[in-house]
Amino acid sequence: MSKSTINDVARLAGVSIKTVSRVVNRESGVRDATREKVEKAIAELNYWPNQSARDLAASRAHLICLVYDDPSAYKLPSSGYIIRLQEGVLRVCRSLGYELLIHPCNYRNDDVESELKFLIQRARPTGIVLAAPLSNIPKIVRAISATGTPLVRLSPGQKLSKEMVVATNDREFAAEMTCYLASLGHRRIGFITGHPRHKAVGHRFEGYKAGLKASGLTFSEELVAAGDNSFGSGEAAALKLLDRKSRPTAIFAANDDMAVGVLRVADRLGIRVPDELSIAGCDDITLAEQIHPALTTIRQPFAAMAEKATLMLVKGTEESEAPKGTVIVPGALKIRESTGPAPG
Amino acid sequence: MSKSTINDVARLAGVSIKTVSRVVNRESGVRDATREKVEKAIAELNYWPNQSARDLAASRAHLICLVYDDPSAYKLPSSGYIIRLQEGVLRVCRSLGYELLIHPCNYRNDDVESELKFLIQRARPTGIVLAAPLSNIPKIVRAISATGTPLVRLSPGQKLSKEMVVATNDREFAAEMTCYLASLGHRRIGFITGHPRHKAVGHRFEGYKAGLKASGLTFSEELVAAGDNSFGSGEAAALKLLDRKSRPTAIFAANDDMAVGVLRVADRLGIRVPDELSIAGCDDITLAEQIHPALTTIRQPFAAMAEKATLMLVKGTEESEAPKGTVIVPGALKIRESTGPAPG
DNA sequence: ATCAAGGTTGACAACGCTGTCAAAAAGACT
DNA sequence: AGTCTTTTTGACAGCGTTGTCAACCTTGAT
């Protein structure tokens, strides 16, 4: 292991440490010949700058903090979501020389706010990427904002704001899914709404209505059942929808967990999927692909969103003008086995 | 946001910065009265030490690096595993003031070794927690060892070694599961082996045999089918086992993915679980609890293992004697719906 | 009181780097 | 060659902490 310092490099290259620093930091105004000398010395000594020293001297930390709802606080099958977020942030961090600090946090705790302030004070990150659903919780957003740390929120219901937000187009792709179902010949397309506090799923409901209209179908309360994003509520809603005299030939659930619930109910009732009933979800959870029949759903671009968010944070810090406003990263339909032509 | 330094605290408390440093670092030899004065000043100024400066001055980083197989490199449903590892490491990090650097890495890349050396040189972590399956790959272990960074490997086949290793008792709990099935009256207990390169699942096979012997049952090749840890191979193996004239009344798969495959096959063949066939897996993946019937399996203590590993790393650094050898963290049987009394 | 021993405290120099600003070198023109 | 401008380089002072070591108090024993 090398433990050579900038001094060693400077001595070997026959320049001052400042010049080495310039080369390392890719600053302009270094003659090519000099740069090469220094680079050779760096390579030879296997030198790598001491991050602590850099951060201290420049009084800035090369650190991005990703804050998300703690999955260990309760049985959450959402680990895939988190991994994808991490993936996106890491991609940017690696390429730009930042480090990633992950902070699962339980918003049900009374002291989340001080926990976050504590974290920020301790780590002094360059910026924070705040994942949903935390990004929708005012007290959390406020606690972070109060510290003055740059913050990018992920998909907090897409309402435009002056803060930095990265969202996806829930409304649009829900409409697209609805149109897709209609294009398969379905006329009675049911919808299962999600948890009222979860804004994104609200947008999907709107998208569903828009899709119906775009396909020349009329909206009917008859075809809507309420869920709360949970598997169980999906089952209950499915039971309700499928019990009706003229039952839907397709059911679009506001998220995959509920869609899987529908799938289970259909199985139990002996309704063949997709022959007799098409089922679509939203989120593309890991299970969606493993279940049988594989679930048609919408893949949320979590990694891409996180990547974008991190980029905004870094750009905002390194360049003078911090990017503001909402950036949309579109989701993509994943057509799999659970949807097919309308029966009859 | 406070940006007070140790100087401000020292001035307010009327002591030298060194004394403040002593209080902050809980060093002995500070009079109680002094300590209290300082603590009051710290609280009042909302002071928190600058990590970069500390690390620089003490030339040590408060950093743990968790290296695991990159789940984004291929479709892995293993995100739950990673999340639990992170959880364990984070618990220790938080309580001991360390930070966690996560590093998913794809061992299929040719340049993993330089990638890791690069990472280590750049981040200079206190130590590295290396998760399976990476912990079983010699070139990776070697690359890290070569840097001299303290390393704890997670469950690399449990072979005793002089290095730091945290493993679980695959053999023992597989035996236990087998005995449990036998105790339910099963006499023909099938087993689906896992990927030959994955040592842990090999231990499970041994445990299965030991369990049979302990239960007074004889081992028969007839009851064993080979898999490769994948869902699909579980299905294939199940088909093979269930096709035989005197088919097993219970199937124990070396991992959950394959067990779920068995479940699906049973469903397709109209074999009721657990009435006609008991199925057990191993790992307690997220899906195990969500599937119907919920899968009896063995919960691997991933979080606890990671926690233990991190602790070893920190203790090894902070105390003079580094803990060596293998530490075993036992897994736990999770009896759920997919196992029941033997038919007849 | 006086002194040694031990417990507390502080002065000051690192730690390895970056920011500032001035000095030196290199070009550009007479 | 001389002067002015621009580019390139370096000296040096921090950044906020810890390690070292000497100086300072206490205490208890004489």
Q: Average of pLDDT values for A295-306?
A: 92
- Number of CB pairs, chain A paired with chain B, less than 8 A apart: 103
Contacts of A87 in chain B (CB under 8 A): 71-72, 104
> Which of the two residues, B214 and B27, has the higher pLDDT score?
B214
DSSP string, B263-327: HHHHHHHT--TTTT-EEE-SB--HHHHHSSSPPBEEE--HHHHHHHHHHHHHHHHHSSSPP-EEE
pLDDT at residue A86, as a whole number: 93
**Domain B63-168+302-329 carries which CATH code?**
3.40.50.2300
Instruction: Give the E-state strand segments of chain A in sequence order.
Output: 63-69, 99-105, 127-130, 151-154, 164-167, 189-193, 224-226, 250-253, 278-280, 297-299, 325-328, 332-334
pLDDT at residue A323, as a whole number: 66
pLDDT at residue A146, as a whole number: 86
How far is residue B262 CA from its own chain's centroid? Answer: 25
Q: Average of pLDDT values for A227-247?
A: 90
> Which of the two residues, A81 and B178, has the higher pLDDT score?
B178
SS3 B255: coil
**Cβ within 8 Å of residue A205, ≥6 positions away:** A174, A191, A193, A194, A254
Instruction: Say if A28 is an interface residue toward chain B (CB within 8 Å).
Output: no
Q: Average of pLDDT values for B287-291?
A: 80
Say which of A124, A264, A303 has its CB closest to residue B292.
A264
Query: Could you state, in order of their start, the residue ranges of all structural domains in chain A?
Result: 6-49, 63-168+302-331, 170-299
CB distance A183 to A195 below 8 Å: no
pLDDT above 70 coverage of chain B, percent: 94
**Cβ within 8 Å of residue A142, ≥6 positions away:** A113
- The C-alpha atoms of residue A223 and residue A182 are separated, in whole angstroms, by 14
Q: Does the B6-49 domain belong in CATH 1.10.260.40?
A: yes
SS3 A250: strand
Please list the residues that pair with B278 across neighbouring strands.
B250
**Tokens found for residue A132:** 């949903």
b/e sequence A208-226, b meaning 16+ C-beta within 10 Å: bbbbbeebebeeeeebbbe
- Give A129-139 pLDDT, tens digit per residue: 999 888 888 88
CB distance B287 to B326 below 8 Å: no
- The C-alpha atoms of residue A87 and residue A257 are separated, in whole angstroms, by 23
CB distance A42 to A34 below 8 Å: no
Task: Confirm whether B63-168+302-329 and B170-299 share one CATH topology.
Answer: yes
Say which of B79, B104, B122 has its CB closest to residue A286.
B79
Own/partner contacts of B155-160, CB < 8 Å, gap of 24 or more, are: B155/B200, B155/B305, B156/B132, B156/B199, B157/B199, B157/B200, B157/B202, B157/B203, B158/B199, B158/B200, B158/B203, B158/B326, B158/B328, B159/B199, B160/B325, B160/B326
Q: For residue A105, how many other CB atoms are within 10 A of its CB?
A: 18
Contacts of A99 in chain B (CB under 8 A): 101, 123
Q: Average of pLDDT values for B28-43?
A: 89
- Residue B159 predicted with pLDDT over 70: no
- Which residue in this structure is represented by tokens 């082996």? B193
Residues with CB under 7 A from strand D: A 14-19, 22, 28-31, 33-34, 53, 56-57, 59; B 3, 5-7, 17-18, 21, 24-25, 47, 49-50, 53-54, 56-58
**Tokens found for residue B228:** 């490769």
- Give A17-71 pLDDT, tens digit per residue: 999 999 998 888 888 999 999 999 999 898 888 888 998 898 877 889 999 998 7
pLDDT at residue A158, as a whole number: 55
pLDDT at residue A235, as a whole number: 92
Question: Looking at chain B, which residue has its C-alpha nearest residue A265?
Answer: B292
**Domain B170-299 carries which CATH code?**
3.40.50.2300
- pLDDT-based confidence at residue A268 (cuts at 50, 70, 90): confident
Chain A closest CA to B53's CA: distance in Å?
6
- Give A109-148 pLDDT, tens digit per residue: 888 998 898 888 777 888 999 998 888 888 898 899 888 8
Say which of B52, B102, B121 has its CB closest to residue A61.
B52
- Residue A176 predicted with pLDDT over 90: yes
Angle (CA) B70-B51-A3 rounded to 5° is 70
Q: Is the CB of B30 under 7 A from strand C?
A: yes
- The whole-chain average pLDDT of chain A stands at 87
Contacts of A48 in chain B (CB under 8 A): 121-122
pLDDT at residue A309, as a whole number: 92
- The C-alpha atoms of residue A209 and residue B230 are separated, in whole angstroms, by 40
**Domain A63-168+302-331 carries which CATH code?**
3.40.50.2300
- Give B79-114 pLDDT, tens digit per residue: 778 888 999 999 998 888 788 889 998 888 888 998
- Residue A232 predicted with pLDDT over 70: yes
Which protein residue's Cα is closest to nucleotide D20 at C1'? B18
Chain A closest CA to B37's CA: distance in Å?
22
> Which of the two residues, B324 and B170, has the higher pLDDT score?
B170
**Tokens found for residue B249:** 């009344």
- pLDDT-based confidence at residue A159 (cuts at 50, 70, 90): low
